[in-house]
């Protein structure tokens, strides 16, 4: 395990800034993602409170996301994603401690919790569509599906990265130092997806 | 390097305690939602700032401890914070301009 990572969780590979370029690059990428999700959240806030009844055929009511939310269900999903951040940080901690088996267990647990979250989102979308609200129903519905859908796509991509790390570790019997840094980078990405959901859960679901 | 290593990373037990705190804050958020739904005096103008405050607390805890930002060099914090603040300023200004946010 001597070739994985130092006990303090950092590596010897430094660049001009004193920080590994890949790690700095990940932080800059995540910083830029605020602009991306900020646009989608603003888009939803702009359209969520508007009256679309004038655009509906006679006798047909407007189905807005707010009227269809299942808060207890989404609260459980939020809890699951929050706990996946715990398992992710435990995976990184296990790697720093040199425990490759425990690293794999926590990576798998994170991926599973992420999958549960995605499953919940698919269920929620299916429910909304069955009740008559699709992405083309009105601008508020469109903004909702765009925002939560792109977040879900980010979670899905994170799961793929976690599975890749798990597979590499399983096949090689452990992660090397370079691959160990990848765990840290995937962890940063995963936690970022979690903080974006913290914002979405509050602004989209809880605040009227 | 001294700046980077000045603080010790949390232990697994401390990570679990942080996660329990996050779960507790989420439970308060959901409770506030139902209070707003069931008590007339508990209006959105009361619940919304509290919900935003709780979300900010959860955000800071995850970024600071789980993402280890408080243990990183200040350059990393500057990059990350700049993107976050720039996005907040830009989109709050846009939403004000388009009337989606109204001060009462």
DSSP symbols for chain B: -TTTTSSPPPPHHHHHHHHHHHHHHHHHHHHHHHHHHH-TTS-HHHHHHHHHHHHHHHHHHIIIIIS-GGGS-HHHHHHHHHHHHHHHHHHHHHHHHTTSS---
In whole angstroms, give the CA distance from residue B55 to residue A205: 12
In chain A, the N- to C-terminal Cα span, in Å, equals 51
Residue B6 within any structural domain of the chain: no
Report the residue from B62, B80, B94 with minimal CB separation from A42. B94
pLDDT tens readout for residues A96-141: 999 999 999 999 999 999 999 999 999 999 999 999 999 998 899 9
A188 neighbors A30 (Cβ within 8 angstroms): yes
Q: What is the DSSP letter of A69?
A: -
Q: Which residues of B touch A207 (CB under 8 A)?
A: 44, 47-48, 51-52
How many domains are there within chain B? 1
- Token representation of residue A28: 């800059």
Inter-chain CB proximity B52 and A30 less than 8 Å: no
Q: Is B6 on the interface with A (CB under 8 A)?
A: no
B3 neighbors B73 (Cβ within 8 angstroms): yes
pLDDT tens readout for residues A157-194: 999 999 999 999 999 999 887 788 999 999 999 999 99
Q: Is B88 on the interface with A (CB under 8 A)?
A: yes
Q: Hey, which residues 21-40 in chain A have their CB within 8 Å of chain B? A: 23-24, 27-28, 30-35, 37-39
Residue B65 within any structural domain of the chain: yes
Beta-carbon contacts of residue A89 (< 8 Å; ≥ 6 apart): A187, A191, B15, B66
Please count the residues of chain A. 208
Residue B104 within any structural domain of the chain: no
Report the residue from B23, B68, B82 with minimal CB separation from A82. B23
| B6 alpha-carbon distance from chain centroid | 24
A50 neighbors A65 (Cβ within 8 angstroms): no
Could you list the residue range(s) of the whole structural domain that residue B65 is in? 12-98
Q: Is A18 on the interface with B (CB under 8 A)?
A: yes
> Which alpha helices (H) appear in chain A, and where do they start and end?
21-47, 65-68, 71-96, 100-130, 139-172, 177-200
Which residue out of A8, A186, A202 would a mutagenesis test of the B interface target, given it has the greatest number of B Cβ atoms within 10 Å? A202
In whole angstroms, give the CA distance from residue B7 to residue A147: 36
pLDDT tens readout for residues A23-67: 999 999 999 999 999 999 999 999 987 777 777 776 677 788 888
pLDDT recorded at residue A13: 57
| A91 alpha-carbon distance from chain centroid | 17
Residue B22 within any structural domain of the chain: yes
Phi-psi region of A113 (alpha: psi -120 to 50; beta: other; left: phi over 0): alpha
In whole angstroms, give the CA distance from residue A43 to residue B60: 24
pLDDT recorded at residue A185: 96
Mean pLDDT by 10 residues, chain B (104 residues): 60 96 97 89 85 97 95 92 95 89 72
Q: Has residue A11 got a pLDDT over 60?
A: no
Specify the residue for token string 């959105």: B44
| Cα pseudo-dihedral A151, B18, A89, A38, rounded to 10 | 20
Inter-chain CB proximity B80 and A27 less than 8 Å: yes
- Mind telling me how many Å the CA of A33 is from chain B's nearest CA? 8
In whole angstroms, give the CA distance from residue B22 to residue B17: 9
pLDDT tens readout for residues B4-34: 445 678 999 999 999 999 999 999 999 999 9
Q: What sign has the CA pseudo-torsion A133, A136, A138, A140?
A: positive
Residue B3 within any structural domain of the chain: no
Residue B1 within any structural domain of the chain: no
Residue B91 within any structural domain of the chain: yes
Around Cβ A62, how many Cβ atoms within 10 Å?
17
What is the phi/psi pair of residue B4, to 5°? -70, -35
């Amino acid at each position: 395990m001597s070739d994985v990572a130092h006990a303090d969780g950092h590596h010897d590979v430094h660049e001009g800034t004193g920080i590994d370029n890949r790690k700095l690059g990940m932080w800059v990428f995540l910083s830029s993602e605020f602009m991306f999700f900020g646009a989608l959240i603003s888009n939803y806030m702009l359209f969520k409170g508007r009256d679309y009844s004038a655009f509906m055929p006679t006798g047909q009511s407007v189905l807005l996301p707010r009227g269809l939310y299942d808060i207890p269900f989404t609260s459980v999903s939020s809890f699951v994603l929050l706990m996946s951040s715990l398992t992710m940080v435990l995976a990184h901690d296990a790697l720093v401690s040199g425990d490759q088996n425990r690293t794999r267990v926590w990576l798998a647990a994170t991926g599973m919790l992420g999958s549960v979250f995605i499953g919940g989102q698919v269920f929620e979308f299916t429910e909304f569509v069955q009740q008559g609200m699709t992405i083309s129903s009105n601008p508020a519905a469109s903004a909702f599906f765009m925002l939560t859908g792109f977040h879900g796509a980010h979670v899905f991509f994170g799961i793929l990265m976690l599975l890749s790390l798990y597979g590499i570790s399983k096949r090689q019997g452990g992660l090397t130092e370079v691959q160990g840094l990848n765990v840290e980078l995937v962890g940063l990405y995963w936690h970022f997806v979690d903080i974006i959901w913290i914002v979405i859960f509050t602004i989209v679901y809880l605040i009227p | 390097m001294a700046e980077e290593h000045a603080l010790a990373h949390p232990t697994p037990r401390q990570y679990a305690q942080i996660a329990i705190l996050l779960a507790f804050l989420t439970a308060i958020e959901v409770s506030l939602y139902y209070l707003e739904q069931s008590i007339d005096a508990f209006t959105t103008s009361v619940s919304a700032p509290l919900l935003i405050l709780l979300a900010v607390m959860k955000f800071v805890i995850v970024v600071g401890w789980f993402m280890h930002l408080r243990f990183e060099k200040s350059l990393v914090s500057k990059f990350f914070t700049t993107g976050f603040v720039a996005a907040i300023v830009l989109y709050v200004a846009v939403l004000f301009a388009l009337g989606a946010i109204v001060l009462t």
